[in-house]
Amino acid sequence: MAAIVLAAAIGIKALWLLYAWLLSAIVGSELSKRKGYGEKWGLGTGMLLSVIGAIIWLLIPPKPDSPWRQKQARKKRAQAAASE
């Protein structure tokens, strides 16, 4: 009976680690796509480096013509219009 409980405890930990791994791959993929590098780069770093891969994409600067920069520019324009 103790072996079943131990296997269940290991199983739930493995499931949560799997969720963290998949979520980091999704986040890395989305961040890299928005920063103009394409989804594959983020997916690869998210899968290989797990949570660290998603954090790395927060630190990588966006390309000049990326949606990330365009969204920041729209925010700045909206704030400037609101302050006038």
Q: Is 18 left (phi over 0), alpha (psi -120 to 50) or beta?
A: alpha
Q: At 66, is the secondary structure helix, strand, or coil?
A: coil
Tell me the C-alpha distance between 8 and 17, whole Å. 14
pLDDT tens digits for range 19-42: 999 999 999 999 999 999 999 999
| Residue 84, pLDDT score | 66
The answer to whether 84 touches 54, Cβ cutoff 8 Å, is no
Which residue has better confidence, 10 or 50? Answer: 50
**Average pLDDT estimate for 53-69:** 89
pTM above 0.85, yes or no: no
